[in-house]
Amino acid sequence: MSAEGNPEGQGRMSETLWRTALHDFNNLLAGIQGVLDLSDPAEPLSHRNWMRLEAALEEGRNLVAMSRALALGRVPDSGSLSSEEWRDGLRRRLEPLSVLFKCPVEVVLLGPVSGRRWPAPLLQDWAMAFSRQILPWITPGTLRVEASEAPEGWILRWPGAPPIPPALRPEPPDDLPGNLSSLWLRQMAGRLALTLEERDGAILAHIPALDPVR
C-alpha cells in the first residue's frame, strides 16, 4: 500500500518532511549568518554580500514552495512556453545559484526547434532544483544546461555532471540522509514522468510529451 493510502506511511512521510525542512532551513539561516559575520556592522553591505543575501533569500523562498508542495500536494498550474521563453525563464531561476556558488551558468537550446511548446513552470523549477543538487560537484567550472526536443518529448542535459545523486536513483538506499530538495525532486519527477540517465559523462533528463501542446 502506498503512503497516500496508509496512515502509518503518511505519518512517516510527515516526520521525514518536518525533519528535512528544519535541517535545510537551519542551513539556510547559517548561510545568512555567514554573510553577516563577514560584513562590517559599521558599514553598509557590499554589493557582493547584498547579492549573496538576495540569493540566500531566494533559496529560502524555494524551500517554502517545496515544503508547501510536499505537505499539501499543490504544484503550480501547468502551462507552456516557447522554447526561447522557457530557456530565458530557467536562466533567471539559475542566476541566484550562480551568485552563491561563484559559478558561470549557461542555458542553451540545441538542435532544430519545431515550435513545440515546453511545459512550464514545473519543469523549469525542477531543472533549477536539480542543478542546485549537482552544483557543488561542478564548481568552479561552468554549469551548462542543454535543452532539446525529442520525438517523444524533451531532453535536458547537464554535461560534465557527477553521477546521478543516490537520492534520485530509482531505488535509493534506505539509510540515505534526506533533504527537502531531494524529496521534492523525486515527487515532481513522478508528476512529470521524468526519468534520469547517465550517458557520455553527462546526466540526461527525459520528459515525455504526455499531453503535448503545439
In the chain, where the domains are located: 3-72, 79-208
- Tell me which CATH code domain 79-208 carries: 3.30.565.10
Q: Tens digits of per-residue pLDDT, 10-54?
A: 445 566 666 666 666 666 677 777 777 777 777 787 877 777 777
Give the other-Cβ count within 10 Å of 45's Cβ. 16
What pLDDT is stored for residue 68 in this prediction? 78
Q: Tens digits of per-residue pLDDT, 59-114?
A: 777 777 777 778 777 777 789 999 999 999 999 999 888 887 888 999 999 988 88
Phi, psi of 81 (to 5 degrees): -135, 155
- In the block, cell 508528476 appears at 191
pTM, full prediction? 0.77
Q: Tens digits of per-residue pLDDT, 155-209?
A: 999 999 999 998 898 888 776 666 788 888 998 999 999 999 999 999 999 999 9
Instruction: Check pLDDT > 70 for residue 8.
Output: no
Write the single-letter amino acid at 96: P
Instruction: Check pLDDT > 70 for residue 214.
Output: no
Query: Residue 196, SS3?
Result: strand
**Nearest residue to 152 (alpha-carbon basis) of 83, 84, 202, 207:** 207
Asked if residue 44 has a cis previous peptide bond (ω within 30° of 0), the answer is no
